[in-house]
Amino acid sequence: MKTEKIILKNETGLHARPASEIAKIASKYQCTINLIVNDKTINAKSILNIMAAGIKSSTEIEIQCDGTDEEAALAELLQAFNNNFGE
């Protein structure tokens, strides 16, 4: 399992668009991908799950990828986070 902790930087938090972007990326991979926020586990492949968490700016998020393509999945997700989802 690969994990990485990041702080959500984009000002508006994980609203619909970034949430769908995460889900879009996550769905491409076979591995299980979860976001851990405040001890809650969120399935990163479900937009609804991500949006329901209502993650606000400067929240700490742990990305957990577990499976055959975990490394690539984590790398692409990190890149999306670091680019602030193009915002």
Partner 1 sequence: MKITDLLSKDAIKLNGVMSSKEESINQLIELMTTNGNILDKEKYKQVVLKREEEGSTGIGEGIAIPHGKTDAVTKPGLSAMVVPDGVEFNSLDGQPAKLLFLIAAPNTKDNVHLDVLSRLSTLLMDTEFRKALLNAKTPEEFLMCIDRAENVKISENKDYNNSYEILAITACPTGIAHTYMAAEALEQMGEKLGHKVKVETHGSSGVKNKFTKEEIKNAKAIIIAADTKIDFSRFDGKKIVKAKVADGINKPKELIEYALSDQAKVYHSNVKNEINDSNEKEGVWTQIYKHLMNGVTHMLPFVVGGGILTAIAFLLDDYSINPANFGMNTPIAAFFKTVGGAAFNVMLYILAGYIAMSIADRPGLAVGFVGGILAVQGTTFASLSDSSIVLVSSGFLGALIAGFVGGYIVVFLKKICSYLPDSIEGIKTILLYPVFGILLMGLFMLIINPYVAGINTAINNYLSSMGTANKVLLGALLGGMMAVDLGGPVNKAAYTFGTGMLASGQYEIMAAVMAGGMVPPLAIALLATLFPKKIAKKDRQAAYVNYIMGLSFISEGAIPFASSDPLRTIPAFIIGSAVTGALSMAFNCTLMAPHGGIFVIATIGHPLMYLLAILIGTIVSALIMAKLKKNLPEHSK
Catalytic center residues: 15
Q: Do the Cβ atoms of 63 and 29 come closer than 8 Å?
A: no
* Tokens, residue 3: 């994990």
| Contact status: 51 vs partner 1 (CB under 8 A) | yes
Q: Decide: is 15 part of the binding site for partner 1 (CB under 8 A).
A: yes
Exposed / middle / buried, residue 26 (Cβ in 10 Å: 0-12, 13-18, 19+): buried
Least distance to partner 1, CB of residue 78, Å: 18
Decide: is 63 part of the binding site for partner 1 (CB under 8 A). no
Selected from 26, 33, 37, 53, the binder of partner 1 by CB under 8 A is 53
Three-state secondary structure call for residue 4: strand
For residue 53, the minimal CB distance to partner 1 (Å) is 7
Helices (H) and strands (E) in the chain, counts: 3, 4
- Indicate the residue among 70 and 85 with the shorter CB distance to partner 1: 85
